[in-house]
Amino acid sequence: PPTEGRPDVLIVGGGIGGLSTAFALAREGLRIRVLERAPEFGEVGAGLQIAPNCTRILDEYGLLDEAKELGVVPENMVMRDALDSRELVRLDLGDLERRYGFPYMVIHRSDLHGLFLRACREAGVDLVTDQTVVDYENTDGGARITLADGRTEEAPLVIAADGLRSVARQKLIGDDVVSSDYVAYRAAVPIEQVRDNGIAEKDVTVYVGPRCHFVQYALRGGDMFNQVAVFQSPKALAGQEDWGTPDELDAAFEGTCETVGKGIPLMWRDRWWQMMDRDPIDTWVHGRIVLLGDAAHPPLQYMAQGAIMAIEDGWVLARHVSRLRAEDAAPSAVDWDAALAAYEAVRVEHCRRILTTARAWGELWHLDGTERLQRNAIMRGVDPAEYAFTDWVYGPTALFPDEEPPMFRPVPLTSARIEESEAAAPD
């Protein structure tokens, strides 16, 4: 049933971040209201990769089995060179699951969003659409939002989960989004359409190439095939407004290997995503207004951790709410200041690492010439079974700063190792 009267928490934005946080806090017995700008709750786009640091949380929420039914658990994650299609590194996702205890899986964005929407409804979250929040302010013992029609609402805590172009972020921080000059095209097509394209149906495959990359994996129990094509837009580099258009898509992938070349004509051409992030910031908590998800830390998507970070944010906040509440206290008796301080203390640094690594990861993927060969040698030299480069991301989400594992640092390369690697490279 919808919440009567004043909620304990107002959440602005009903994307994956807002809804997953609403569910996490409702599980703690709090009365939650979600205010969403759109006329309906929903997600645009196609596939989403969810790594063990997220499936671990879905399992705790009792949602993992359903997620697995809706999605696909691939066998391998394979990186290939987009020009010669040779393999660079292969992660066995079965081994990865044994390592982390939870699967690496892929799911349609609307299926994951729908899962949280149903979970919120069942948990009694008050879900309200057609609510555009235009302003935020702190009050005595809480915060207040103003809607586009002038109405206001108040609660002890307001969570701004309003995405990359967050109004709250604009008001509280005032920084700009950072354009990467890269654009993403997506497509999810019936698997029959791509069976003859040389695809690996059971794998997540990433083809990395000069100023471009291409991602493929099956979705919806294997019935659909998801593709993402990303490239640097010459028009963006030239400072033109209208950048990332379909003519640029075709030109960017000329010269890539056959499988990639066959995938490009299938991309949706009526919409594309100019890829933006923001510089990391240290302060997400402003009195009783707190940033969460892309509003706090929008990444470039190369680590495939954006939605996951948002889900982790909500989980961490809810865990601190639970930890800090006396056993006999009423559900609404939350020490918000302490919970928010604990949330910020651990999440800011983790997400800063993901944001900066995503930028560096993107640069590495998109190298050309000698640097491309150096990159390929590094990748071929990686021993996936070491897990040093995934533990800090896929391990259990830290609740305290001292639980955050150290970051992976690659070994420097010599030119002898590059030649050796090229000669020994598998086809």
Burial 80-115 (b: 16+ CB within 10 A, else e): bbbbebebbbbbebeebbebbebbbbbbbbbbbbbb
Selected binder of ligand FAD within 9, 11, 22, 48 (CB under 6 A) = 48
Closer residue to ligand FAD in complex, CB, 30/358: 358
Residue type, 10: L
* Cβ proximity to ligand FAD, 45 vs 331, nearer residue: 45
Q: Give the C-alpha separation, 300 to 368, whole Å.
A: 20
Contact set for ligand FAD, span 174-193 (CB under 6 A): 184
CA distances to 117, 271, 298, 335, 388 from 159, in Å: 17, 30, 16, 15, 34
Judged by CB under 6 A, the number of residues near ligand FAD is: 33
Q: Should residue 132 be labelled a site residue for ligand FAD when binding is judged by CB under 6 A? A: yes
Question: How many other C-beta atoms are found inside a 10 Å radius of the C-beta of residue 268?
Answer: 16
Residues 225-244 that bind ligand FAD (CB under 6 A): 228
Closest CA to 49 of 116, 135, 129, 109: 109
Q: Is 10 a residue that touches ligand FAD (CB under 6 A)? A: no
- The answer to the question of residue 21 lying near ligand FAD (CB under 6 A) is no
Tokens 């939870």 correspond to what residue?
102
- The DSSP letter of residue 55 is H
Q: Is 210 helix (H, G, I), strand (E, B) or coil?
A: coil
Angle between helices 306-324 and 336-365 (to 10 degrees): 160
Q: Which region among 12-20, 67-75, 172-180, 351-359 touches ligand FAD (by CB under 6 A)? A: 12-20
**CA 130 → CA 21, 38, 39, 135, distances in Å?**
20, 5, 5, 16
Near ligand FAD in 199-228, by CB under 6 A: 228
Least gap, CB of 402 to ligand FAD (angstroms): 25
Stretch in the footprint of ligand FAD (CB under 6 A) among 121-129, 250-258, 297-305, 377-385: 297-305
Alpha-carbon span 39 to 35, nearest angstrom? 11
Nearer to ligand FAD, 209 or 418 (CB): 209
Write down the residue that tokens 């640094």 correspond to.
Answer: 349
Distance, CA of 155 to CA of 142 (rounded, Å): 6
Strands 32-35 and 126-128: parallel
What is the DSSP code string of 58-79?
HHHTT-HHHHHHHSB--SEEEE
- Give me the half-sphere count of Cα atoms (radius 13 Å) on the Cβ side of residue 389: 15
Q: Which of 294, 320, 339, 418 binds ligand FAD (CB under 6 A)?
A: 294
The nearer residue to ligand FAD, 108 or 325, going by C-beta atoms, is 108
The residue from 37, 202, 269, 352 that contacts ligand FAD (CB under 6 A) is: 37
Confirm or reject binding of residue 129 to ligand FAD (CB under 6 A). no
Indicate the residue among 127 and 377 with the shorter CB distance to ligand FAD.
127
Shortest distance, position 425 Cβ to ligand FAD, whole Å: 27
Residue 293 in the binding site for ligand FAD (CB under 6 A): yes
Selected from 304, 358, 377, 378, the binder of ligand FAD by CB under 6 A is 304
What's the CA gap between 148 and 158, in Å, rounded? 17
Q: How far is the CB of 61 from ligand FAD (least distance, A)?
A: 16
Residue 57 engages ligand FAD in binding (rule: CB under 6 A): no
Query: 260 or 373: whose CB is closer to ligand FAD?
Result: 260
CA distance 119 to 311: 14
Is 207 an annotated catalytic residue? no
Instruction: Find the part of the chain contacting ligand FAD (CB under 6 A) among 13-21, 65-73, 193-201, 250-258.
Output: 13-21
Residue 15 interacts with ligand FAD (CB under 6 A)?
A: yes
Catalytic residue among 61, 104, 217, 302: 217
List the beta bridge partners of residue 205. 78, 216
Place of tokens 């651990």: 346
Q: In whole angstroms, how far apart are CA 158 and each of 31, 145, 163, 197, 291?
A: 12, 8, 15, 49, 9
User: Rule CB under 6 A: is residue 267 a binding residue for ligand FAD?
Assistant: no
Among 86-94, 238-246, 303-311, 336-344, the segment contacting ligand FAD (CB under 6 A): 303-311
x/- letters, 268..287, toward ligand FAD (CB under 6 A): -----x--------------
Comparison of 133 and 173: residue with beta carbon closer to ligand FAD: 133
Task: Identify which of residues 228 and 377 has a Cβ nearer to ligand FAD in the complex.
Answer: 228
Report residue 158 as tokens: 């307001």
Residue 84 Cβ, how far from ligand FAD at the closest point, in Å? 25
Which residues are at the interface with ligand FAD (CB under 6 A)?
A: 12-18, 35-38, 48-49, 131-133, 161-164, 167, 184, 228, 273, 293-294, 301, 304-308, 310
Any idea which residues carry the catalytic annotation?
217
